[in-house]
Amino acid sequence: MARIDFSLASSDVLFLPLRRYTVINKSREENKTRESKVKNMEKKVILITGASSGMGYEAAKELAGQGNKVYGAARRVEKMASLKEYGVTPLHLDVTDESSCKETVEEIVQREGRLDVLINNAGYGSYGAIEDVDLTEAKRQFDVNLFGMAALTKAALPYMRAQHSGTIINISSMGGRIVSFMGGWYHATKYAVEAFSDALRMETKQFGINVVLIEPGGIKTNWGHIAADHLAESAKGGAYEETANRVSAGMHKQYSGNMMSDPKVVTRAISRAVNARRPRPRYLIGFGAKPLVFAHTVLPTRMFDFIMTHAS
């Protein structure tokens, strides 16, 4: 009688269909991954505010260089003229004017038929003791840093909801999670941006919209020098003058040194968020950001206060 050989070689034949299925399935999954990456890298229609200088200018260049249709917006359109050579379309926008926000978004949608990414980058920092800063200046910071962002976001949301897709990237700061000395009003706006973005992310998830926070630490730009000058100016002749001058001098020293991060770290984070299929809710980046936020979380409040008041 012929013997039936159930050796390893024979069992390989039995498992061949399963192996073939595994190979085919793996190949299909790899194709899906490639298609997903290609889809994510497809040209997007992007609006970025504060594009006339600094991180906004560099981010507009970077995103246009990736083949996206980028609209750079700012009050001073002439400062964006050089962006045209990189394929960026400059638009006039005053984020403190709600009608200007609506008109800008409508113009882009009329031209392109959609808006895929909104990058709320416009903002500024004005330091000074809470008592010294005039409430008009404090309200102006909120108008630019928070309410301008809100107006533009509200203008964009109906179109993104209709598309059932979109990404809103809000440029915050590690200063939305910790408070540095003599920067109370600025930090109040950034804490508000964090809360605004967290609420927006939960509300818009059902419509396929991503909401992302970029939280830079110390970045080597003119921002620190401008904030330091505002601090010294606001304290002249007042009770906080000596302290403000010391902190202002320290800020100038820090931002003139080599410890701050290159602005490219912010540009790269924005690019990752734009191109990711599922971007992270937060990108905490740049000099000091992660250790300071961690320290704020674990240290007793008075100890952290001591560190911050003696940092400059």
Expressed in percent and rounded to 5, the helix, strand and coil fractions of the chain are 60, 15, 30
Q: What is the distance between the alpha carbons of residues 21 and 31, in angstroms, rounded to a whole number?
A: 15
Q: Which long-range contacts (CB under 8 A, 24 or more apart) does 112-116 make?
A: 112/45, 112/69, 114/45, 114/159, 114/163, 115/45, 115/47, 115/156, 115/159, 115/160, 115/166, 116/44, 116/45, 116/46, 116/163, 116/165, 116/166, 116/167
Reading the block at residue 81, the tokens are 């003229």
| Residue bearing tokens 């606001």 | 234
Of the listed 57, 127, 159, 186, which one is catalytic? 186
Q: Is 186 known to be catalytic?
A: yes
Q: What is the distance between the alpha carbons of residues 247 and 3, in angstroms, rounded to a whole number?
A: 92
Q: What is the distance between the alpha carbons of residues 296 and 154, in angstroms, rounded to a whole number?
A: 33
Reading the block at residue 83, the tokens are 């962006």
Q: Please, is 48 exposed, middle or buried when counting C-beta atoms within 10 Å of its C-beta (0-12, 13-18, 19+)?
A: buried
Q: What is the CA radius of gyration of the chain?
A: 25
Q: What is the distance between the alpha carbons of residues 236 and 144, in angstroms, rounded to a whole number?
A: 25
Reading the block at residue 188, the tokens are 């109040």
**What is the per-residue DSSP string for 170-192?**
EE--GGGTS--TT-HHHHHHHHH
φ, ψ for residue 165, nearest 5 deg:
-165, 160
- Active site residues per annotation: 186
